[in-house]
Structure formats: C-alpha cells, structure tokens
Amino acid sequence: MKKVIGIVALLLMPFIASSTDYQEGKHYVKVKEIAVNAPEVREYFSFYCPHCYRFEGLIDLVKKALPAEAQLVKNHVDFLPGASKKMQGMLTKALVVANNMENTESHIAAIFKYIHVHRGVFTSQKDVRNVFVLNGADGAEFDRLMASEAINNAAKQMKTNQDTLSRSGDLKSVPSVVVNGKYMIHTHDLDKENFVEDYINLVKYLLALD
C-alpha cells in the first residue's frame, strides 16, 4: 500500500461519483449482515497489528471524506496471535473509553504509538491508564469509564460483531472494512496509481447501495 498520510490534497478535490465499475466479488463481497442504525463504515482492527497502524492514515482520509450522514466506527478485535487475550480485550474497552473522552483520536494514536513506536508492552490496566494520563486524560475519569456498565456493554458488542463475522468465515484478518454492516471491501483490484481516491469512491459507492 502506498503511503497515504501525505495525500491530504485529495480531500480538496471534488468527489467524482463512482460508476458501476465496482463489482461484487472483485472490489467487495457481501458478508454476514450485522444490523446498523445509520450509514457506517466499520474498521475491524487491532492496536497490536502493524498493518492497522499504517492503515490509520487512510482511515483518517476516509473519515474526513464521508457524507455527513455516515460515520466511521472503529471495532477492536481480540484474535491476534502472540498478544495476551486479556490485554486485547482490555484495549477494546480502552477504545470505547477513548470514544467517550475528549481528544479521542489523540488517545487512539497514543495507544498505537506505545506499542509500535515506543515498543511498550501492556501488562495491566494500570499500563493503559498511564498512556491515557500521559496523553492528557484525567486518571479518575479513565477509572470511572473503565468501570462503567455502558462501556463494558459497548466493548461486548464489539466482541459480538467480531465473533459473528469470524464464525461466518468473513473476518479472517485485520484491517478489514465493512460498509453498512454487509459489504466488506477488497483492495487488490483498486487503482494502484490512484489508490486513495479509488478507495474513497468505493466506500461512497457501497454506502449508496441498498
């Protein structure tokens, strides 16, 4: 995948509507449907995944280019080999906590950097808390949210989404992106010379499908 972080200029270009060139089975596949309440682009990812860390630049561009009625949702998974299952689950909760704090994107970036830049190893909730606090979060607020029933329920829903697609054989690796709960993007046949633009056009095409 080409570097995407520096391609901000694409956001200034007018959107060119996708044609019917996007084909099921080639550019996207239908997956086990998960009901959604509003148009969404859901990224299944793991903080432990280096590809997911590099994918953040593209996801940020996609988020900025979405129609006003659509949202970008990050769904953490816990099936990466070599990482503690307990800590993967805790980072799912940490993602939900970040979503309920100010500076959400900054906290998400801090977790990624702790693992992939600073080569840190999470061994407890205290380690996760320290990353948030060093990034400017209030420690007491972090503790309150981590203990919240609503946060736990949201984390469980992410796990349910992951398990639903894993059991159906649709979710095998990360990052994987599902649009409107039923269309998973395949990138192999996208335009390599205009990858980011083509990717965003495909996302918008899928958002418009019935």
The pLDDT assigned to 20 comes to: 53
User: Are the C-beta atoms of 188 and 196 separated by less than 8 Å?
Assistant: no
The Cα 185–Cα 139 span in angstroms is 38
User: Are the C-beta atoms of 112 and 56 separated by less than 8 Å?
Assistant: yes
Whether residue 11 has pLDDT greater than 60: no
Q: pLDDT class for 18, splitting at 50, 70, 90? A: very low
Per the document, the length of the chain is: 210
The pLDDT assigned to 21 comes to: 87
The pLDDT assigned to 54 comes to: 98
Q: Mean pLDDT across the stretch 159-174?
A: 98
pLDDT digits over 104-139, tens only?
Answer: 999 999 999 999 999 999 999 999 999 999 999 999
pLDDT digits over 64-91, tens only?
Answer: 999 999 999 999 999 999 999 999 999 9
Q: Mean pLDDT across the stretch 50-55?
A: 98
Give percent of the chain with pLDDT exceeding 70. Answer: 90
Q: Please give the CATH topology (third level) of the domain spanning 40-183+203-208.
A: Glutaredoxin (3.40.30)
pTM of the model: 0.90
The Cα 56–Cα 105 span in angstroms is 10
Torsion of CA 24, 3, 109, 8, to 10 degrees: -90
Place of tokens 């500076």: 103
Whether residue 17 has pLDDT greater than 50: no
